[in-house]
Amino acid sequence: MARERLPIEDTVRELIEPAIEEMGFELVRVRLSGGGRSRTLQIMAERPDGTMDVDACAKLSRAVSAILDVADPIDGPYALELSSPGLDRPLTRLKDYAGHVGHEAKLELSRPREGRKRFRGIIAGVEGGEIRLSLPPGEAGPDASELCVTLAEIGDAKLVLTDALIEESLRRARQREAAQAAQAAETTEAADTAQDG
């Protein structure tokens, strides 16, 4: 069943997003789940390059916790869980889809299309605010091979963990490491030149 966003999730997003952005991160998702005394407020964030480390996660968690303690937007007890989106991440923004073209995703629509809500296919692209999902033959209807939807039509979506997704993630990590090593070498060379001069 497609999940509708709760108004309290929007309230929490409005409270914490400015601080998260000021710290150099992007808010991916806010979700309140569970009921009674066992509710969990899940917040997913990442750097603009898609990374997140344990220290940054702890730092963000402390900042978000302080904001929520003061604003107190949620009635009753809840556990705060702050994490990165992970490899099989939720797809909540157009940039999430655009950044994962060619990878497999599962979408659940808020309202049925062609008599169904759930679709699984390859992200084909994002054009004019619409997400294109290539579907296996016969999945999109008798004459279609693609599903085109807007973010507003999607109740829930996530990447499917595949070998290709893992390989892409490892390739991106190697590229980031190489760029960081090159930058460190440039900094060292500049410092050596300044000392010599």
**Domain finish residue from 26, 49, 83:** 83
- Same domain (yes/no): 124, 71: no
pTM for the predicted model, two decimal places: 0.80
The percentage of the chain sitting over the pLDDT mark of 90, rounded to a whole number, equals 69
Question: Does 95 lie in the same domain as 170?
Answer: yes
Query: Which backbone phi and psi does 97 adopt, to 5 degrees?
Result: -70, -45
Average pLDDT of span 54-61? 95
CATH of the domain at 23: 3.30.300.70
Which DSSP state fits 49? T
* Count of structural domains, the chain: 2
Instruction: Give a yes or no: residue 2 inside a domain.
Output: no
What is the layout of strands, in order, in the sheet containing 130-134?
A: 146-150, 130-134, 116-127, 104-113, 154-159
Domain boundary among 67, 83, 99: 83
Residues 79 and 149 in one domain: no
**How many helices, marked H, and strands, marked E, lie in the chain?**
4, 8
95: domain range?
Answer: 87-184
Start-to-end Cα distance in the chain:
67
Confidence of residue 189 (pLDDT cuts 50, 70, 90): confident
